[in-house]
Amino acid sequence: MKKKSYHHGDLAAALLNAAEAELTENGIERFSLRAVAKRAGVSHGAPAHHFSDVKGLLTALAAKGYERLLDQQSKREAEKDGDARAKLVASGLGYLEFAMANPQLFHLMFNSSIPDRDDERFFNVALSVFDRLVDNTQAVNGKSPYSDEASMVDLMASWSLVHGLAELIVSGRAERPLNLSQLSQEDREAVLSAILGRVNQSVE
Amino acid sequence: MKKKSYHHGDLAAALLNAAEAELTENGIERFSLRAVAKRAGVSHGAPAHHFSDVKGLLTALAAKGYERLLDQQSKREAEKDGDARAKLVASGLGYLEFAMANPQLFHLMFNSSIPDRDDERFFNVALSVFDRLVDNTQAVNGKSPYSDEASMVDLMASWSLVHGLAELIVSGRAERPLNLSQLSQEDREAVLSAILGRVNQSVE
DNA sequence: AAACAATCTAGTCAGTGTCAAGTTTATATG
DNA sequence: CATATAAACTTGACACTGACTAGATTGTTT
């Protein structure tokens, strides 16, 4: 890390860190590129040399978020390898865990029309999250969602439920019905797993 | 409707209409209070006399959106009275229908932290949507979500699935897997109903 | 050592929401 | 009916925003 030279050394990364800090502190609504530059100790025009505009910066940040989301899901899945359905639920728990730990980032990634979906890196990493769901769905019901319509319906139901629940939690709307903030982590996970388990139940 | 007097007559309503038009045309990201005032044919300072600030205006608009959402759901439910579960699915279809018909408004209502949730009118009308779900859930499984934990789990699963699916559709992420835009309305509703039906299935 | 490209600063511009002061109109009061 | 008061609206100012430009500084290549 350089001391105080004219050139920063790794300003792009520093800006991303500053951007995430600003995002978590102020939320997307009051996000300011100039504040990010100031936090990184650099003039307000500097970011333009690393990110085309504020949309570019936030797209890169969102892509980083997707990577961490993937990690979180992988970690959860790894604990439960064996039963395919348990793995699917674990993957969903990882999704929820990420959302609860990074509400503002989650909001940026999904709830805003800010990130540029055509950005290559963003597109690919978002696709990876989807592919993981494709694999897990196929492992559960034995048919590829791409070739089997009913399997795709299952996939969309899983996806919708997990994502919707994350939205309701992050936005605070799930708090009154579920009281999540007052539960122990164990109880909280039990409740969330129960909800996730209500979709695509196998009828035996 | 007055012609061109200094006083507008019903500027509050005119501003809400202008705001919705601006919202649908430009999206929440490029929403501008001054543009709304200009569209309503009034100076940029005028809105302050009817809405405390831009947040106040958008909160009122979001509340109006909730009312229309309720209407849409009522209409759908009315077609299927009888079977409780069919009614629940119909209610969900109304939810999706509203989202698809008013994507930007839907986004304002749910995906932004703009509306003031403590605003009385907003709070009440949002509660009405929730209460409807409470009633429908109770009708399906016979137990009140407020007193029965498993019933609340069912409710949250229904809510999450419907809302999540709406999010995925509105944001465009459901398009690639489902091809909704290329289907006839009949086929589209069949697919959506199938997905909605994958939650809280009765195991007989 | 010199040329060149990349990086960063500093100034400017149009646009934003909000506030304060002043103007016009409607309404209530005598 | 006249007049005081309140409400509705305009106008101008302010601090802030993101983007653009020109110029200063530094790293790299030849």
B9 touches strand D (CB under 7 A): yes
Q: What is the pLDDT of residue B203?
A: 59
Nearest to A160 by CA among B193, B157, B183: B157
Q: Which has the higher per-residue pLDDT, A10 or B190?
A: B190
- Identify the segments of chain A with pLDDT beneath 70: 1-4, 6, 203-204
- How many Å from the CA of B61 to C1' of C29? 38
Nucleotides of C under 7 A from a protein CB: 6-11, 15-21, 24-26
- pTM score over 0.85: yes
Nearest to A173 by CA among A118, A103, A113, A123: A103
Q: What is the pLDDT of residue A81?
A: 74
Query: Do A39 and A18 meet the contact criterion of CB atoms below 8 Å apart?
Result: yes
Q: What is the CA radius of gyration of chain A?
A: 19
- The stretch B34-61 carries a mean pLDDT of 97
Q: What is the pLDDT of residue B126?
A: 97
Query: Do B89 and B196 meet the contact criterion of CB atoms below 8 Å apart?
Result: yes
Residue B48, classified by CB atoms within 10 Å of its CB into exposed (0-12), middle (13-18) or buried (19+), is middle
- The stretch B142-156 carries a mean pLDDT of 97
End-to-end CA distance of chain B: 61
Share of residues in chain B with pLDDT > 70 (%): 96
Q: Which has the higher per-residue pLDDT, B71 or B202?
A: B71
Q: What is the pLDDT of residue B82?
A: 82
User: Token pair 């990010």 is at which residue?
Assistant: A36
Nucleotides of D under 7 A from a protein CB: 7-13, 16-22, 25-27
Q: Is the pLDDT of residue B3 over 50?
A: no
- Suggest the residue from B95, B160, B173, B203 to mutate for an interface test with chain A (most A CBs closer than 10 A): B160
- The stretch B158-169 carries a mean pLDDT of 98
Whole-number Å distance between alpha carbons of B35 and A140: 52
Q: What is the pLDDT of residue A204?
A: 53
Instruction: Say which of B145, B168, B201 has its CB closest to residue A160.
Output: B168
**Lowest-confidence range among B22-26, B110-114, B153-157?**
B110-114
Element spanning A104, H or E: helix A103-106
Torsion of CA A101, A167, B170, B194, to 10 degrees: 120
Q: What is the pLDDT of residue B204?
A: 53
Could you give the maximum distance between any two Cα atoms of chain A, in Å?
Answer: 68
- The stretch B62-83 carries a mean pLDDT of 95
pLDDT one-digit tens code per residue, A58-67:
999 999 999 9
A51 touches strand D (CB under 7 A): no
Whole-number Å distance between alpha carbons of B167 and B163: 6
A3 touches strand D (CB under 7 A): no
Q: What is the pLDDT of residue A6?
A: 63
Q: Is the pLDDT of residue B184 over 50?
A: yes
Whole-number Å distance between alpha carbons of B16 and B36: 9
Q: Is the pLDDT of residue B202 over 80?
A: no
Whole-number Å distance between alpha carbons of A160 and B127: 22
Query: Do A136 and A154 meet the contact criterion of CB atoms below 8 Å apart?
Result: no
Residues whose beta carbon sits under 7 Å from strand C: A 6-9, 11, 37, 42-46, 49-50; B 5-7, 31-35, 44-45, 48, 53-55
Q: Is the pLDDT of residue B7 over 50?
A: yes
Whole-number Å distance between alpha carbons of B117 and B108: 12
Residues of chain B contacting A171 with CB distance shorter than 8 Å: 110, 113
Nucleotide lying nearest to A56, CA to C1' measure? D18
Q: What is the mean pLDDT of chain B?
A: 94
Q: Give Cβ neighbours of residue B69 (< 8 Å, ≥ 6 apart).
A: B94, B95, B98, B109, B129
Return the structure tokens found at A186.
Answer: 């164990």
Residues of chain B contacting A163 with CB distance shorter than 8 Å: 164, 167-168
Give phi and psi for A95, each to the nearest 5. -60, -50
